[in-house]
Chain A
Amino acid sequence: MSSNGKTLGVLMLSAARHQSAFARVLSQQPDIRLIALTDDPEAELVPWVREANLALAAQWNVPYIEDIDAALALPGVDIVTVCSQYFRHGPHALKALRAGKHVLLDKQPMGMSAEEGESVFAAWQAVAENGVQLSYIHHVVDPAVIRARKIVEGGEIGEPRAVFVSAMVTYGPGDEEADEKWFRGLHPQFWGGGELIHHGAYGIGVARYLMGCEITSVFTVAAGHFNRIHRENGSEDLVTVSLGFENGRVGTVIVGRAPNNAHPGYADEFANLIGTRGAVTADWEGPWFLLADSEQGLSRREMYGRADATELAILDFLRAVRTGGEPLQGPADGLAEVRALWAAFDSAKTGRTVSL
């Protein structure tokens, strides 16, 4: 099912995180209309989430509807962008899918357990024949990652055998007491964990995509080191995820948040992929140039060539909606990643390898 060139209506579901970026990108598309912003009733919301909802709705001059079912029933709603806290991703995705809407999640997880992920997948399967799309923001869409995958597909490095992915961001509150922005953005009471839940699926997703096969076992070690908010609340900001893949292949994913104002980029994010005939590296913070700014007194990596993963993933999702094709990362990919992610959490708790 394609959109046949008609205007697509978007219902924004919660502004807990990143919905403002979604709104900006979506509003730039000539065939997209922002219809409303919705969320659970006030009594069920953390106050700051409701405040963010009201502010974003006002910014985009759309109604704010505190009844998701009623909002889903509005005429002209084709797409729902879910940007609620992770523990609400599953219930919100289920509502939207069962209403027959295309669903774009603000990143993984699509469920707070493998089982919940499977429920969301099943809900999508039930409407898939109607052309309903389900996807999420990911880093597979980064140009460097896509380029590395093309190298693999071209046979240049032979069969991929081992991958190392670093997803270590360099911004954060560090040892300072978290201000309002960081408190809302990182406190585990709102998100159910630390950096493994925030960014783990990014790294796992890139590793899986480049290796081109399924994850079969996970060993994880996680701890809070670099940020006071993580240390004091038992959440993690340094995680090593060791992955076993089909056919005996191996992956290592590092996820973390080690704030450093002097870092030339926003993250140390890259992948090294080793095959039977060679190796390829992909800096998925790139492509970039180094800007030495004498007024700021520091150097920064500036991405170029439209390398914003959020924007690219949204555009890829819209392409799938418009054409009836498949998004780069679809529901099956999301489910596989979520299974690996929760296996990683289990492993971190038990200190044992978990088989999938």
Chain B
Amino acid sequence: MIQVAIAGHGEEAARWREACRRVDGIEVAPEAERANVDAVILGTRPGAGLDLALAAARAGTPVVTGYHPAGSAEEAAQLEAACRERGASLTLLLPERRQPLARDVKRALDDGKLGSLRYAHSASIGGLPDETQSGSGAFLTERATPALDLLAWFFGDRVVTRVFARDCSLGTPGESSHYASIVLIFADASQAVCEIGQTAAFAPDTGLRRLALTGMRGSLYHTERDHDLVITADGARPLFDDPVAGYAEALAAWTGGSGLDAAGNLESGKTALRLARAAAESLRTGQPVALEQ
């Protein structure tokens, strides 16, 4: 039995807690026994939870997280150094890759059903999360990182050379309703657009979601209309895929010791962080940002 502690609170921590419940061989340690766990799972959003990760690493405890907890390249280096010094591992599980849709889209791509991918659009605009951050930099890192990782994953070995982003508020000043459109430009001029948003105008369990991919051979489209619907006197809303499914799959791969490319995931996580940071820089300058290769 692997004993884990879940650090952090809120929606992300709740997802990991539920995921642990679903996977055989993992037990969430009671509060009193957290000092002797086999690993700490960061229940924090991407780009958040660095302090928790550092604390675990400095205690020599392996750190497991969905996406990189660092908010910058410098923070990432700091965490990796701390892990090295104490021999603690840092494992990124990238749970959104394990969601059924993402997994099967990737399989279709790898099977060549779309040919060489040249264009992708991903949109995920939903209600406000239970934890909110201010400042578009944190918004981008928290909300865009998983989507950016998916897009980079779909494009495989192709390298992003430039990033351009715009953002705007979706609500009144002081509200955390926010939106961003991030354009990824690849070395071969393939293009991807990542739209992310959170708005008080949407109920928590609704959203505007879309995934469209176009390759040299074919296209693939998925929208929230493709989900089941529940329709009542209050309106209609889609029944989205179980958001915890990918987290549970990722944990199972981690505990099973196979199906997890730890080194690859860490590099991917740093790439996604780099893309999010480039988008933030583009917002600041109003110009595209070239990525060092």
Residues of A within 8 A of B (CB): 157-158, 161-162, 164, 166, 168, 170, 175, 217, 219, 221-223, 225-226, 238, 240, 242, 244, 248-252, 254, 256, 258, 260, 262-263, 268, 272, 274-279, 281, 351-353
| Contact present for A250 and B167 (CB under 8 Å) | yes
- B217's nearest neighbour on chain A, judged by CB, is A260
Q: Mark B159-175, 1 if CB is under 8 A from A, else 0.
A: 00010101111111000
| Contact present for A276 and B171 (CB under 8 Å) | yes
| Contact present for A274 and B191 (CB under 8 Å) | no
Q: Report the bound CA distance from A352 to B286 in whole Å.
A: 9
Q: Does B212 contact A (CB under 8 A)?
A: yes
| Contact present for A279 and B181 (CB under 8 Å) | no
Residues of B within 8 A of A (CB): 118-119, 121, 123, 125, 162, 164, 166-172, 177, 179-181, 183, 185, 188-191, 193, 195, 197, 199, 201-202, 208, 210, 212, 214, 216, 218-219, 221, 286-288
Residues in B whose Cβ lies below 8 Å from that of A279 = 125, 201-202, 208
CB distance from A295 to the nearest CB of B (A): 23
Q: Report the bound CA distance from A222 to B180 in whole Å.
A: 21
| Contact present for B195 and A164 (CB under 8 Å) | yes
| Contact present for B214 and A258 (CB under 8 Å) | yes
Q: Give the interface SS of chain A, mostly helix, strand, loop or mixed.
A: strand
Residues in A whose Cβ lies below 8 Å from that of B123 = 164, 272
CB distance from B141 to the nearest CB of A (A): 19
Q: Report the bound CA distance from A13 to B189 in whole Å.
A: 38
| Contact present for B181 and A242 (CB under 8 Å) | yes
- A279's nearest neighbour on chain B, judged by CB, is B208
CB distance from B170 to the nearest CB of A (A): 5
| Contact present for A161 and B169 (CB under 8 Å) | yes
| Contact present for B199 and A268 (CB under 8 Å) | no
Q: Report the bound CA distance from A261 to B208 in whole Å.
A: 28
- B181's nearest neighbour on chain A, judged by CB, is A252
Residues in A whose Cβ lies below 8 Å from that of B212 = 166, 268
- If A223-B189, A250-B181, A268-B219 touch, whether A244 touches B166 (CB-CB below 8 Å) is yes
26 A-B pairs (CB sep. < 8 Å): A161-B168, A161-B169, A162-B181, A164-B121, A166-B212, A217-B286, A219-B164, A221-B162, A221-B191, A222-B189, A223-B189, A225-B119, A225-B190, A226-B214, A238-B190, A240-B183, A242-B164, A250-B181, A258-B219, A272-B123, A276-B170, A276-B199, A279-B201, A279-B208, A352-B288, A353-B287
